[in-house]
């Protein structure tokens, strides 16, 4: 009787497709609940039904004791719902957005000032009330969206992937806000594709293809993996080659790169090996295991790619590049070099200057001063020729949503230096490699997120570029799709491709050979992932994660500036 959310045999169908298939679950008040699952698992559909925005096809669903359809109006007064693309008005200021949402929710005039002051203080937005929402960083936009959702304090807060595209500092701030909401008596359901977030929840709900795989404390599922997780030094073998070989072994379920080590999950207890060191299991290990393991270690894309030959030792060169927009300096005097076959990461908080750096190195933006080269070609004097050597995946899905999958492939094959039979062959090859045949006539904007990412990668690589620029390429995708993506990248690197990647997902950053940490428009550190983690070691935290290092190094930089 005390359940805040109760589903009994709920099914939701869209035409002939079941988005949710006979789901029963129970959520108690004052819990932090993580709703996790691969892309297309049914997470958003479930949240929208709990919010009273979708009607179940079958079954019963009650929230706070209310029927979500018959008593929807009363329900909407008690819950807060923040969808993936929260409707901020980007041409309005922070203050104007708050005022608009207060009016929409019928907040009395004499209550607004007190509510706004509390929310702005809680979200650390008090200094930015006159800034346009469109000019906020990704993390600040999420916090403003939360503030608008919380204007009328809900008993149940529904958040659909609020941390997608948000840097580790802002993610930690969002987590601290969640803890404050819980202490104030609120219940929170947080949809996520980041399994480290789900690991911290009171209750984890795992969905896959519309079915309920698990509901319970995340620690209970993680315990099932004890004795099956190991790290190993790569010895003399190249880490990407070794990972690919291990993932194709029958007794290996999953594996990822962690700096200079490889982390593996076995299906059963493995044979003894002197280089294998047991390590604690993670919730993500159990999640991937529930789904039947990872995608293996092969890459059809890499197999079809010829060995890249270039005489350049350093394929990407940035020499004191600076970019100003009026009086604002987005990138200030950044220099680095990326060697052939290296995976080089750009990390930094939202608004630090990473994407601007990317655009200058791709020839999409001219530096205000400084020089940039790709494969020995100047992006200032020969930008078109330099761009022909580049493949680029933008931060936001940048293909043409109004065109079909086939039309996008045809269009991009014409943009690159591909002609006649070579062009047709490149399109046919990408269709075969990525399994696009069932989707060829479908609008790109309607593809599942995982297939959008595959299409973007196909369009970026069909001309076999020597250099790949990946700007937050797997933001929001599930762990299985992320592993598949990195199989392709690892395979291309072994063929001699050079990769520059920006990401907010620290497990992804572990794949980099070196990382440049960008903060407040400047490069403040550059080193390998393992070396950066060592810089963040303390007596209290002898084995910091890369996320710990990210936050610690930024805090140390701020402290040095103050002194």
**Share in percent of the chain as helix, strand, coil (round to 5):** 35, 25, 35
Nearest to 503 by CA among 494, 495, 515: 515
Would you state the pLDDT for residue 397?
56
- What is the 3-class SS of 453-471, one letter each residue? HHHHHHHHHCCCCCEEEEE
- Interhelix angle 420-434/449-461, rounded to 10 degrees, is 150
**What is the rounded CA–CA span in Å between residue 528 and residue 514?**
4
**What is the rounded CA–CA span in Å between residue 255 and residue 264?**
4
Contact 505, 477 (CB under 8 A): no
Nearest to 461 by CA among 404, 360, 359, 393: 393
Query: Quick one: CA dihedral 425, 431, 437, 438, positive or negative?
Result: negative
Would you state the pLDDT for residue 152?
83
Would you state the pLDDT for residue 525?
95
**What is the rounded CA–CA span in Å between residue 7 and residue 10?**
6
Would you state the pLDDT for residue 235?
63
pTM: 0.88
**What is the rounded CA–CA span in Å between residue 383 and residue 362?**
8
Domain extents in the chain:
5-221, 224-297, 390-464
Would you state the pLDDT for residue 134?
86
- The CATH number of the structural domain formed by 5-221 is 3.40.50.300
Nearest to 302 by CA among 431, 488, 501: 488
Q: What are the backbone angles phi and psi of residue 497, rounded to the nearest 5°?
A: -75, 145
Contact 283, 196 (CB under 8 A): yes
Q: What are the backbone angles phi and psi of residue 159, rounded to the nearest 5°?
A: -125, 120
β-strands 79-82, 156-160 pairing: parallel
- What is the 3-class SS of 390-455, one letter each residue? EEEECCCCCCCCCCEHHHHHHHHHHHCCCCHHHHHHHHHHHHHHHCCHHHCCCEHHHCCHHHHHHH
Would you state the pLDDT for residue 434?
92
| Number of Cα atoms under 13 Å in the Cβ half of residue 261 | 15
Q: Tens digit of pLDDT for each residue in 302-339?
A: 999 999 988 888 999 999 999 999 998 999 999 999 99
214: which strand partners? 206
Nearest to 546 by CA among 270, 256, 306: 256
- Interhelix angle 168-183/138-149, rounded to 10 degrees, is 20
- Give the chain's residues under pLDDT 70: 1, 86, 235-236, 269-271, 395-398
């Amino acid at each position: 009787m005390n359940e805040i959310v109760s589903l009994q045999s709920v099914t939701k169908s869209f035409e002939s497709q079941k988005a949710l298939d006979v789901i029963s679950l129970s959520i108690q008040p004052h819990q932090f609940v993580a709703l996790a699952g691969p892309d297309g698992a049914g997470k958003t559909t479930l949240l929208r039904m709990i919010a009273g925005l979708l009607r179940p096809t079958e079954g019963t669903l009650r929230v706070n004791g209310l029927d979500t359809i018959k008593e929807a109006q009363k329900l909407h007064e008690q819950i807060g719902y923040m969808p993936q693309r929260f409707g901020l008005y980007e041409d309005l200021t922070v203050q104007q957005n708050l005022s608009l949402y207060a009016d929409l929710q019928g907040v009395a005039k004499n209550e607004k000032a007190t509510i706004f002051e509390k929310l702005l203080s809680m979200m650390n937005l008090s200094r930015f009330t006159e800034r346009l929402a469109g000019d906020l960083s990704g993390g600040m936009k999420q916090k403003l969206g939360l503030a608008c959702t919380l204007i009328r304090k809900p008993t149940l807060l529904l958040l659909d992937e609020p941390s997608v595209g948000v840097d580790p500092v802002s993610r930690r701030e969002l987590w601290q806000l969640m803890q404050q909401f819980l202490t104030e008596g609120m219940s929170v359901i947080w949809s996520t594709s980041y399994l480290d977030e789900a690991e911290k929840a009171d209750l984890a709900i795992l969905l896959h293809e519309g079915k309920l795989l698990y509901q319970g404390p995340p620690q209970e599922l993680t315990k099932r993996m004890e004795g099956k997780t190991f790290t190993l030094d790569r010895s003399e073998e190249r880490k990407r080659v070794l990972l690919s070989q291990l993932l194709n072994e029958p007794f290996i379920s999953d594996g990822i790169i962690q700096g200079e080590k490889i982390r593996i999950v076995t299906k059963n207890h493995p044979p003894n090996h002197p280089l294998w060191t047991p390590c604690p299991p993670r919730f993500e290990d159990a999640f991937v295991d529930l789904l039947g393991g990872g995608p293996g270690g092969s890459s059809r894309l890499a197999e079809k790619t010829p060995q890249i030959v270039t005489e350049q030792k350093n394929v990407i060169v940035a020499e004191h590049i600076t970019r100003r927009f009026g009086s604002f300096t987005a990138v200030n005097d950044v220099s680095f070099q990326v060697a052939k076959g290296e995976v080089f990461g750009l990390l930094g908080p939202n608004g630090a200057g990473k994407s601007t750096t990317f655009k200058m190195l791709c020839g999409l933006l001219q530096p205000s001063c400084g020089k940039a080269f790709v494969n020995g070609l100047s992006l200032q004097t020969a930008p078109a020729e330099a761009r022909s050597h580049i493949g680029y995946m933008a931060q936001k899905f940048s293909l043409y949503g109004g065109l079909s999958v086939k039309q996008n492939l045809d269009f991009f094959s014409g943009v690159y230096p591909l002609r006649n039979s070579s062009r047709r062959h490149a399109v046919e090859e990408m269709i075969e490699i990525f399994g696009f045949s069932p989707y060829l006539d479908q609008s790109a904007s309607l593809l599942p997120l995982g297939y959008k990412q595959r299409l973007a990668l196909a369009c970026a690589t069909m001309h076999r570029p020597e250099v790949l620029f990946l700007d937050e390429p797997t933001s929001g995708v599930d762990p299985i799709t992320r592993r598949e993506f990195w199989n392709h990248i690892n395979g291309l690197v072994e063929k001699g491709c050079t990769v520059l990647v920006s990401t907010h997902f620290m497990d992804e950053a572990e794949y980099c050979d070196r990382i440049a940490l960008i903060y407040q428009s400047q490069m403040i550190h550059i080193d390998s992932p393992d070396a950066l983690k060592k810089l963040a070691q303390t007596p209290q935290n002898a084995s910091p994660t890369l996320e710990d290092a990210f936050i610690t190094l930024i805090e140390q930089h701020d402290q040095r500036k103050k002194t």
